[in-house]
Structure 1
Amino acid sequence: MRRASRNRADLLMQAAEVVAERGFENTRFTDVAGRTGASISTLQYLFGNREDLVVQALRTRTAHLLAEARTAAEAITDPIERLRWVAGHLAATDGSPDAARAEWMLWVEYWRTALRDDELATESINTYDGWASLVRDAIHAAVAAGVLAEPSDIDAVAQGACALADGLGVQIALRRPGLTWERAAAMTRAWLSVTLNCPALADH
């Protein structure tokens, strides 16, 4: 049973890559079959129709990204470095420019799909709150360590950081000239540095 579940999860993770490349409307069973090596009949048996496959793929991949980020953030013991890492990670995961763009293409498709799917729309709010909580938790840790003054509205700071990173991410997906994921990460850290009056958060 665990083996079947693991295979299903692997299929969804790979299917999400296809969705990021081709978009919701253009992702077909044949595309996912070609990427995963699974037969079309197997995909139909596991997921029913094409739309359910795409939605489940987006849900699985985005949940994985958040869980992965939370685990990595909680492993960083220095509170300032943790906050710097979270701020940069909001803009894009560490990787190549192509990997950063592919990730943001995935998020664009996730948001577009959520606009048409009420259940996913509700989940997307929880997902967004999950990313904001990474920022809130990192700020709380820095305040508790005595290296940061507590802001008057932590929720506003956390949501503002996410909103900034999301806007930059769309520009990365659009291949805005001169905007690399490293630059986006630095801009997000700089914004938090000014907002929290903590110069150590900015790149030097």
Structure 2
Amino acid sequence: MEQPRRTKAEIAAETREAILGAACEIIAEEGFEKIRMRMVAQRAGVSTAALHYHFDNREKLFAEALRHSFEHTGRDVYQGHADSDSATSRLARIISASLPTTASLRLEWAMYQELWCRANREPQSRALAIELSRAQQGWIEETLADGVACGEFTPCDTAAHARLISSLCDGFGVQLMFGNPSLTITEARAVIWQHAGGALGITTPFPAQDH
């Protein structure tokens, strides 16, 4: 049976997806300073003309690659779960997704480290770092508010507690990326969970994860 012909919009979307996926890999592997547009085009299997059609320069590509990776992580956290999903389970997924717990999240973390280095000296990178940090804190704050509203969590200052949880994830994530021999992912999650759960009335251990 003959397959339906793809539209120009579908082809463009697939090309953009391939470019962003390739950019994420190369930035994580080589660092932003070494990345070249032709390297991304080759990895994505597209022409340099197609790459430049979607992204004018490395800076725009870098920013969109980070947003692309962040959005994929967000979908993993929020989508594909039952309607009866609890705030506790969602908070646990957010904490896991905020640490380098899988190969794909290590790749995302490597890009964040590149971003943080650039944010110290470059205003656009600083703005992007703040944007993504606020979005991650927003996931946490929304989850805390949902848990408080349904009586699952003890009432608290959700904005302040979200900042605390986010900061703990960032701090432990850096140590895990550096390969601190005295720290494991299991230990990091347990400590974060202890501090996160204390104010929320959570007394159970960190929930088992699907990955």
Length-normalised TM-score, structure 1: 0.81
Indicate if the aligned counterparts of 2:20 and 2:65 stay in contact, CA closer than 8 A: yes
Structure 1 residues 114 and 160: alpha-carbon distance in aligned structure 2, compared to 1, 3 A threshold: same
Indicate if the aligned counterparts of 2:63 and 2:128 stay in contact, CA closer than 8 A: no
Unaligned runs of 5+ in 2: 1-8
Shift of 1:174: 1.1
Asked if residue 139 in structure 1 is aligned to residue 139 in structure 2, the reply is no
Shift of 1:162: 0.4
Structure 1 residues 74 and 88: alpha-carbon distance in aligned structure 2, compared to 1, 3 A threshold: farther
Structure 1 residues 30 and 80: alpha-carbon distance in aligned structure 2, compared to 1, 3 A threshold: same
Distance 2:36 2:147 in 1: 46
Alpha-carbon RMSD across the aligned residues, in angstroms, is 2.7
Distance 1:64 1:8 in 2: 14
- Equivalent position amino acid for 1:125 in 2: I
Tell me which structure has the larger Cα radius of gyration. Answer: 2
Distance 2:90 2:53 in 1: 43
Q: Which residue of 1 aligns with 2:99?
A: 91
- Equivalent position amino acid for 2:110 in 1: M
How many correspondences in the alignment?
200
Q: Which residue of 1 aligns with 2:6?
A: none
Distance 2:104 2:184 in 1: 11
The counterpart of 1:180, out of the listed 169, 180, 184, is: 184
Distance 1:177 1:106 in 2: 22
- Equivalent position amino acid for 1:170 in 2: V
- Superposed, 1:46-195 pairs within 5 Å as 46-71=54-79, 77-92=85-100, 95=102, 98-151=103-156, 153-195=157-199
Asked if residue 6 in structure 1 is aligned to residue 14 in structure 2, the reply is yes
Shift of 1:72: 5.7
Length-normalised TM-score, structure 2: 0.79
Higher helix share goes to which structure?
A: 1
* Identity across matched positions, percent: 28
- Equivalent position amino acid for 1:133 in 2: G
Indicate if the aligned counterparts of 1:20 and 1:105 stay in contact, CA closer than 8 A: yes
Structure 1 residues 26 and 75: alpha-carbon distance in aligned structure 2, compared to 1, 3 A threshold: farther
Unaligned runs of 5+ in 1: none
Indicate if the aligned counterparts of 2:69 and 2:108 stay in contact, CA closer than 8 A: no
